[in-house]
Amino acid sequence: MEAVEGLRIRTMTDKDMAAMVEIDKKIVGKDRIASWPQKVSSHSRTYYPPLSFVAEVDDTVLGFIIGVIMGAEYGLPLSGWINIIGVDPVYQRRGLGTMLLRSFIEACHRRGIKARLMVRQKDERLQKLLLSLGFQQGDLVDFVKGFG
C-alpha cells in the first residue's frame, strides 16, 4: 500500500459536497458491494459536522466519511453512526478509509459515545477493515420478509 503524500484529514464542510458527489459517481456502478446504496447527496442535510470528515491533498477531496448521532430509535444508547464512506477509486487501498475511520472513532470517543455502522453481510472487505480497527458485531439483527 503506497501512502498518499500530503494527505490531511479535516472536518467536512458544506463546500465539500460537490467533490463528494463526484467521488460517489465514480464509485456507483462499479463492480462492488455497497454497504449502503444511497447516494452521498441524500446525506447532505442530515450529517453531523463534528463526526464527518474528508481526506484531501492540495485542497482536492479524495475521500469522505459522513457521521450522525443516533441510536434511540433502535433502543440503543446514543452513538456515532457512519452513514456513508467513500474513497476515490484511484486512491483506494492506500489507507484513506482507515484514516477517515480513525478520525470518526476519535471524534466519537471525545464525545464519550460508541462508534457504530451497519454493514451488509456480503461486504467482506469493509467488515475486515472494521475488525482490524477493533469494531465488534453489535446488537442489531436485520429481519426481512418478502411477499407471499
Q: Per the domain annotation, does 78 fall within a domain?
A: yes
Domain extent at residue 67: 8-132
Q: Per the domain annotation, does 141 fall within a domain?
A: no
Q: Per the domain annotation, does 123 fall within a domain?
A: yes
Alpha-carbon radius of gyration of the chain: 15
CATH of the domain at 12: 3.40.630.30
Please state the domain count of the chain. 1
Q: Per the domain annotation, does 137 fall within a domain?
A: no
Give me the pLDDT at residue 31, please.
42
Cα 9 to Cα 31, 63, 96, 113: the distances in Å are 27, 9, 9, 21
The total number of residues written for the chain in this structure? 148
Q: Per the domain annotation, does 115 fall within a domain?
A: yes
Tally the C-alpha atoms within 13 A of residue 66's C-alpha that lie toward its C-beta: 21
Given a contact cutoff of 8 angstroms between Cβ atoms, the answer to whether 61 and 54 are in contact is yes
Helical axes 124-132 vs 96-110, angle rounded to 10°: 50
Q: What is the pLDDT along the chain (148 residues), one digit of tens a residue?
A: 677 888 999 999 989 988 988 898 888 764 434 444 445 554 555 667 889 999 999 999 999 998 988 888 878 888 998 888 899 999 998 999 999 999 999 999 999 999 988 888 888 888 898 999 999 988 888 787 888 6
Q: Per the domain annotation, does 71 fall within a domain?
A: yes
Give me the pLDDT at residue 35, please.
45
Q: Per the domain annotation, does 144 fall within a domain?
A: no
Rounded to whole angstroms, how far apart are CA atoms 20 and 16?
6
Q: Per the domain annotation, does 57 fall within a domain?
A: yes
